[in-house]
Amino acid sequence: MNELEQMLTDSAERLFGNEVTLEQSEAMERGEFPQPLWNAVDKSGLVHVLASEEAGGANASWTEALPVMLAAGRTVTPLPFVDAATATWLLSRLGIEAPQGLLALADLSAAPTASQDGDTWRLSAEVEVPWGRHAQHVLVRAANAWLLLPTEHASVREDANIAGEPRDRLTFVDAVATAASTRQPLEECDDPAALGALMRAIQITGVLERVLNQTVQYATERIQFGKPIGKFQAIQQQLAVLANEVVASRMAVASACAALSGKDWAQQAMIAKIICGLAAGRAPAIAHQVHGAIGFTREHSLHYATRRLWSWRAEYGSEAQWAAKLGKVAIEHGGDTLWERLTEAA
């Protein structure tokens, strides 16, 4: 860990550890945006952690910024922090100045077509925008350009995932982009949704760390038959499996982040989403089993983590979808090159 990474890690741990509360998550699920929390996060500058220095950011690599994004997940921060940080990174690579206020990132899986009239770009389309109802601007990947659009005149169809996070659809009618670019900010990638897959994989990993810590703590404190349940071999075995899932996920996202400067980053992002998606299925089962009946109650805090795991697992492609894509690529290149491609990616 270099000096910049250590500084960013300390800042993120302090910020999210001091500012985030479960009461904010409860309020978010009632439709209340945690504005004071967003103000604190925005003031810290961490949203611009990936942006270039010219764009007012820290110019951190994805590896250096990973602990910051994991900290947001580990504290179940009720904000689209990873999405916003990724959006500002994309804007800096596009040469577009990041706007004030909450910046949302439209679903990268879709690509509506924008129209151009001289230097003016317009969009008439319905796009899925996580946290769209609260955003002042949204970055949209169109088929022929990247557009920065104000949301003030867009109509909003509100929806939410099972974690209660906004998953809205915004309809733009002849909306004029604040800025636009035809540059390609994602090198060596034929499917930008892979970046979205990496975002969700990172979020899953952060929450997995929280689930592990919470489950180990409960196993240490819960007394049954005269001793902590963590002393029983069956529980210890379950905790070991849970820890393995967390380590595998952390290694997968770390490898994907390290690969973002190379040609195989999309493949690594897909692999990370597969590994983290599988962990998001196994880890909650173990955590809830160890917690027993109390872990299934609304009053207990465990569900704030596990519902996010289930939600993010389903977003930006399932394990089966990404595995099929990777398998198709392997078949197209032929078996003789498979080992070479695997070792190059490593």
Residue 187 lies in a domain: no
Residue 14 lies in a domain: yes
Closest to 128 (Cα-Cα) out of 163, 156, 94: 156
d(CA 82, CA 325): 25
Q: What pLDDT shows up at residue 56?
A: 87
Q: Note whether 79 and 72 are within 8 A (CB).
A: yes
Does residue 346 have a pLDDT over 70? no
Same domain, 149 and 201: no
Burial class (CB in 10 A: 0-12, 13-18, 19+), 233: exposed
Same domain, 67 and 106: yes
Does residue 339 have a pLDDT over 90? no
Q: What pLDDT shows up at residue 208?
A: 98
Same domain, 7 and 51: yes
What residue type is assigned to position 239 of the chain? L
Specify the number of domains making up the chain: 2
Confidence of residue 241 (pLDDT cuts 50, 70, 90): very high
Residue 163 lies in a domain: yes
d(CA 259, CA 86): 16
Does residue 345 have a pLDDT over 70? no
Does residue 340 have a pLDDT over 80? no
Closest to 325 (Cα-Cα) out of 194, 178, 209, 177: 194
Q: Which of 181, 205, 237 is the last residue of a domain?
A: 181
Range of the domain at 43: 3-181
Looking up residue 210, the CATH number of its domain turns out to be 1.20.140.10
Same domain, 149 and 209: no
The pLDDT tens digits of the residues spanning 103-134 come to 999 999 989 999 999 999 999 999 999 999 99
Same domain, 71 and 104: yes
Q: Note whether 221 and 346 are within 8 A (CB).
A: no
Looking up residue 132, the CATH number of its domain turns out to be 2.40.110.10
In this structure, the strands spanning 137-141 and 103-105 are: parallel
Q: Which of 152, 181, 210 is the last residue of a domain?
A: 181
d(CA 55, CA 36): 24
Same domain, 260 and 119: no
Closest to 28 (Cα-Cα) out of 297, 310, 308: 308
Same domain, 30 and 157: yes
The pLDDT tens digits of the residues spanning 170-217 come to 999 999 999 999 998 887 677 899 999 999 999 999 999 999 999 999
Rounded alpha-carbon distances, angstroms, from residue 101 to 47, 85, 233, 246, 290:
11, 13, 51, 33, 41
Give pTM, 2 decimals: 0.95
Does residue 4 have a pLDDT over 80? yes
Q: Note whether 34 and 28 are within 8 A (CB).
A: yes
Residue 340 lies in a domain: yes
Same domain, 304 and 236: yes
Confidence of residue 16 (pLDDT cuts 50, 70, 90): very high
Mean pLDDT score, 45-63: 94
Same domain, 225 and 275: yes
Confidence of residue 342 (pLDDT cuts 50, 70, 90): low
